[in-house]
Amino acid sequence: MTRYARDVAIIAFAQTDHQRRSDELSEVEMVMPVLHQVLRRTGLRTGDIGFTCSGSSDYLAGRAFSFTMALDGVGAWPPISESHVEMDGAWALYEAWVKILTGAADTALVYAYGKSSPGEVRDVLSRQLDPYYTAPLWPDSVALAALQAQALIDAGHTDERELAAIGARSRADAAANPYAQLAGAVPRGDMVVGPLHRGDCPPIGDGAAAVLLAAGDRARELCERPAWIRGMDHRIEAHGLGVRDLTDSPSTRLAAERAGAFERPVDTAELHAPFTSQEVVLRRSLDLDSRVRVNPSGGALSANPVMAAGLIRLGEAAALIHRGESDRALAHATSGPCLQQNLVAVLEGDSHG
């Protein structure tokens, strides 16, 4: 069945109530409750965990080595086998998955957090751009997404009405998601950077998420219906926006191929599309038709804690499988300007009965 050395599953997922600000909480104070939740759900303790990996960004925090203090929430004593990626937590999950595949660990704790409230996240993200030609112009993240949106419109792949509908559907679905920051009937709002309006953009906020992974029988023992990782892959594209076709996401398609996403249809997809227009790109790249439920959680348009939002897609997809609401789900995470880097995982539950 699986193409990998071991069967590995997501066995627990927890996230914070995502909020516009969280001044009362330091990062560790924000992260610790979700760590406790995933441990409690499985009855595991820190000492039982084989590997721990996290994702976060110093630039978001405004401080160097910000992740070192978040580790306080784990209780790393006696010392633990642990690593950190300066990436969205989805890639921390990838690293942890690989660790389990090597056989060096049977369980892994993955967490990610981001507080966008302290800084101007639109400007902070501009520091990701090439530092010679692009970053000195301070193009913000909404501006870059808007260039992509316009390219889609010009190419006839979408229009402003469809974009508005994606925003509306996401926030309507988020009404059933108690952790969402933005839910219900949300007006499309003013133009932020045309053609994108407020409603096409993600809310800015703070949040954290944690996931537990386990291999084989350990997963079956700890979780009633594990969300098996049938495939996972990630790919990066060229950095320059002017050398890419912004209407397409070949890296997403390639990652999905490598993850086996096209072998059989999925029933659900959790896509990390912070902007409505990016959902259009991803649907095209993944050949998702109308039979696939997209972002029942409300997606990043309903809560976008930067550095955790990708991990949350994996967690939300797994949670659907845990609850028996999906049998085969695709989860996607992105990083970089205009979907430069993309990760795709295919999760499955064992058949009922």
For residue 135, give the DSSP letter. G
Among 159, 221, 224, 245, binds another protein (CB under 8 A): 245
Taking the least distance from each CB to another protein, the nearer of 118 and 325 is: 118
**48 near another protein, judged by CB under 8 A:** no
The partner residues of 8 in beta bridges, in order of sequence, read 215
CB of 173 to another protein, least distance (A): 27
Which residues ranging from 330 to 349 are in contact with another protein (CB under 8 A)? 335-337, 340-341
Taking the least distance from each CB to another protein, the nearer of 154 and 289 is: 154
Among 2, 138, 221, 324, binds another protein (CB under 8 A): 138
Backbone torsions φ then ψ of 84, nearest 5 degrees:
-145, 135
Taking the least distance from each CB to another protein, the nearer of 44 and 294 is: 44
CA distance 254 to 10: 23
CB of 333 to another protein, least distance (A): 13
**29 near another protein, judged by CB under 8 A:** yes
Among 14, 32, 209, 266, binds another protein (CB under 8 A): 32
Omega within 30 of 0 (cis) for the link into 131: no
Among 149, 168, 259, 286, binds another protein (CB under 8 A): 149
Question: Concatenated DSSP letters for 211-247?
Answer: EEEEEHHHHHHH-SS-EEEEEEEEEE--S-GGGS-TT
Choose the binding region for another protein from 90-98, 165-173, 280-288, 313-321 (rule: CB under 8 A). 90-98
* Residue for token pair 């909480």: 25
For residue 266, give the DSSP letter. -
Among 11, 14, 34, 35, binds another protein (CB under 8 A): 35
What string marks each residue from 50 to 89 as x (binds another protein by CB under 8 A) or -?
--x----xxx--xxxx-xxx-xxxxxxxxxxxxxxxxx--
Q: Which residues of 99-128 are buried (b: 16+ CB within 10 A; e: fewer)?
A: bbbeeebbbbbbbbbbbbbeeebbebbbeb
What string marks each residue from 205 to 244 as x (binds another protein by CB under 8 A) or -?
----------------------------xxxxxxxxxxxx
* Residue for token pair 């960004």: 57
CB of 317 to another protein, least distance (A): 20
Give residue 161's region: left, alpha or beta (phi > 0; psi -120 to 50).
alpha
Q: Which residues, including other chains, have CB under 8 Å from residue 296's CB and lie 6 or more apart?
A: 173, 176, 268, 270, 316, 320
CB of 135 to another protein, least distance (A): 7
Among 37, 101, 165, 198, binds another protein (CB under 8 A): 101
The partner residues of 209 in beta bridges, in order of sequence, read 15, 112
How many residues are given for the chain?
353
**99 near another protein, judged by CB under 8 A:** yes
CB of 250 to another protein, least distance (A): 6
**189 near another protein, judged by CB under 8 A:** no
**112 near another protein, judged by CB under 8 A:** no
CA distance 195 to 244: 20
CB of 175 to another protein, least distance (A): 30
